[in-house]
Amino acid sequence: MCPNTHSQINLMQLKFFLTVAEFQNISKAAEHLYRTQSAITRAIADLEKQLNAELFERHHNGVILTEIGHHIHAQVKSAIEELRQIPLLVHQYKHQGAAPSQNINEPFFLYNTRRLDIFSTLYLTKGMKNTASLLGITQPAVSASVKLLEEALNIELFIRTPNGIKATEICDLLQQNIKRCLNIIHDVPNQTADFIGKLQGTVRIGALPLIRTFLLPKAIASLAAHSPAIRFLTFENAYESLVAQLRSGDIDFIVGALRPQQQSSDLDIQVLFDENMFMVVRNKHPLLRKKVQFHDLLEQQWILPRANSPARLLMENNFRSLNLTPPEPTVETGDLALSRGLLLQSNMVAVVSEQQMKHELDQGLIKKLPFDLQYTTRQIGIIFRKNSIQSAASKALIDSLIAVCAATEPSG
C-alpha cells in the first residue's frame, strides 16, 4: 500500500498554531519560536486558508482560540507530540534507556511534512528510485532529505546494501511515531469539516473474522446511508498484524473477538457483548433426526478453527472438561466461506459463533446442535491505541456498531 501524501498540511504551521494557542499572543509566540511576528502571522493565516476556518479571535491584547480552533487543538497537539518524542527515543536508544541529563531541544527539523513523507515512503519501498517516482521528486532530493534527518538525529536510519535499502533498528522504532503523526494530520481537514456539520473522512477498520459477516457490514451500511461522504477501509489480516498496524496508526481500531490474555498496556478495549460458540450442521443433517449423545459427535468429520487459535483452544477446553478427547479436524481453516461451503455440501460438523453464521441460521440453511459448549464464552469488542484521538467519522462508526449490537440478540 502506497502512503498518502500529506503535503497539504504544513507541520510547521501546526507547531506555530499550538504555540500561539499556548501564549495567546502572537508576539510572545514569535519570541518563543525565534521567528518574526510577521512570519507567525502569515503562517497562521495560511493555515486558516488551507482549513477554510478561522482558528483565532483577535483582540487588542492577544488572541484566543475559536470554537473550531479548540475542536482541532487536541488532535494537532497529539501529532506534534509524536515528533517531540523522537529525540528522546533516540537518546534512550543510544544510552540504554537512560533519561537525558538536560532538556532536549525542540526538533524543528522534523516539522517538515514533505521530509516525513519522504522518510515514510522510503521506509515502505526500501528504494530511492521507487520513492522518488511515487512522490514526483528526484533521487538526489530523497537522499538529501534522509541525510538531513540522519545528521540532525546523529544516527543511521537506512543501510545501503546491494539488494536495496534496509531500515536500522532505531529506524523501525521511529517510523511508528512518524506514521502516527502523518495519519493524524491527514485527518485535520476532516475535523474542521465535521465541526461545520459535514461528516467526512476515512475510517480504517481492522476487521477480525467473527465480526465481518453481520455486525460490521450492518454498522457500515447504516452509517453510510446517513453520511455518504465517509469512506470505509477494512483490513483483514491476522490479529498480530492488525495490532502492529494499530500501533503505527495505519488503522483506527480493531473490532472482533478480544484476547484478554494478549492485552498490552498500550492498548484499550471496549466490550460490546459476550458470545458463546456452538456446533452447527447443514439443514436435514442425519444428526438432526435422532437423539444424539455427546460422545456420538466424536465419530463425525469436523471443521475446526486453526490450531492454537483462541476459538480452537476454547473448544478443546470444553471437551476436556467433559473428560473427552477433543475431535481431530478433517478440515482446519479460518476461512468462513470455505466453512460455509463445506457445511452445505457435506455432513461435517463445525464449531462457530452466531455472528459468523447469522445469515445461514436465519435462512434455515444450517442448524444448531442441541449441545451447550461450556467455557467457550468470548468477549466481542473494540481495541484502540491508548490515548488515541478518534476522528469524528471513526466515532460515528463506533456509535453505529454499539447501536447494532444493542439491537441484536446475542446467542448468550
pLDDT in tens, 27-50: 999 999 999 999 999 999 999 999
* pLDDT confidence tier of residue 262, bands split at 50, 70 and 90: low
pTM of this structure = 0.75
Q: Is the pLDDT of residue 285 over 80?
A: yes
Average pLDDT of span 285-292: 87
Residues 239 and 129 in one domain: no
pLDDT at residue 63, as a whole number: 94
What does the alpha-carbon distance between residue 163 and residue 160 come to, in Å, rounded to a whole number? Answer: 8
Residue 412 belongs to a domain: no
| 101 in Cβ contact with 121 (< 8 Å) | no
What does the alpha-carbon distance between residue 269 and residue 260 come to, in Å, rounded to a whole number? Answer: 9
Query: Containing domain of residue 94, as a range?
Result: 11-185
Residue 288 belongs to a domain: yes
Which parts of 313-371 are beta strand (E)? 331-332, 349-353, 366-368
Residues 145 and 269 in one domain: no
Q: Which sign does the torsion angle of CA 68, 71, 74, 76 carry?
A: negative
What does the alpha-carbon distance between residue 73 and residue 68 come to, in Å, rounded to a whole number? Answer: 9
The pairing of beta strand 277-282 with beta strand 349-353: antiparallel
Residues 90 and 105 in one domain: yes
Residue 63 belongs to a domain: yes
Residues 136 and 261 in one domain: no
pLDDT at residue 118, as a whole number: 96
Residue 193 belongs to a domain: no
* pLDDT confidence tier of residue 2, bands split at 50, 70 and 90: very low
CB neighbours of residue 359 within 10 Å: 13
The grid coordinates of residue 310 equal 483462541
Single out the residue in 157, 185, 213 at which a domain terminates.
185
Q: Is the pLDDT of residue 327 over 60?
A: yes
Angle 240-244-249 from CA coordinates, rounded to 5°: 145
Residues 343 and 383 in one domain: no
CATH code of the domain in which 114 resides: 1.10.10.10
| 315 in Cβ contact with 305 (< 8 Å) | yes
Single out the residue in 185, 211, 244 at which a domain terminates.
185
Average pLDDT of span 8-13: 91
Average pLDDT of span 272-297: 88
Residues 48 and 157 in one domain: yes
Average pLDDT of span 155-161: 93
Residue 190 belongs to a domain: no
Residues 392 and 246 in one domain: yes
Residue 340 belongs to a domain: yes
C-alpha gyration radius of the chain: 26
Residue 194 belongs to a domain: no
3-state SS assignment for residue 277: strand
What does the alpha-carbon distance between residue 377 and residue 353 come to, in Å, rounded to a whole number? Answer: 10
* pLDDT confidence tier of residue 268, bands split at 50, 70 and 90: very high
pLDDT at residue 410, as a whole number: 52
Residues 69 and 95 in one domain: yes
The grid coordinates of residue 252 equal 483506527
Single out the residue in 156, 185, 214 at which a domain terminates.
185
How many CA atoms lie within 13 Å of 249's alpha carbon, on the beta-carbon side? 25
* H-type alpha helices, 60-167: 67-94, 113-125, 128-135, 139-153
Residues 179 and 203 in one domain: no
Q: Is the pLDDT of residue 122 over 90?
A: yes
pLDDT at residue 211, as a whole number: 87
What does the alpha-carbon distance between residue 370 and residue 140 come to, in Å, rounded to a whole number? Answer: 69
Residues 261 and 285 in one domain: no
Residue 44 belongs to a domain: yes
Of the candidates 217, 210, 349, the residue with the CA atom closest to the CA atom of residue 274: 210
Residues 330 and 220 in one domain: no
pLDDT digits (tens, 9 = 90+) for 337-363: 899 999 999 999 999 988 888 889 999
Q: Report the domain count for the chain.
A: 3
| 142 in Cβ contact with 158 (< 8 Å) | no
CATH code of the domain in which 268 resides: 3.40.190.10
Residues 17 and 136 in one domain: yes
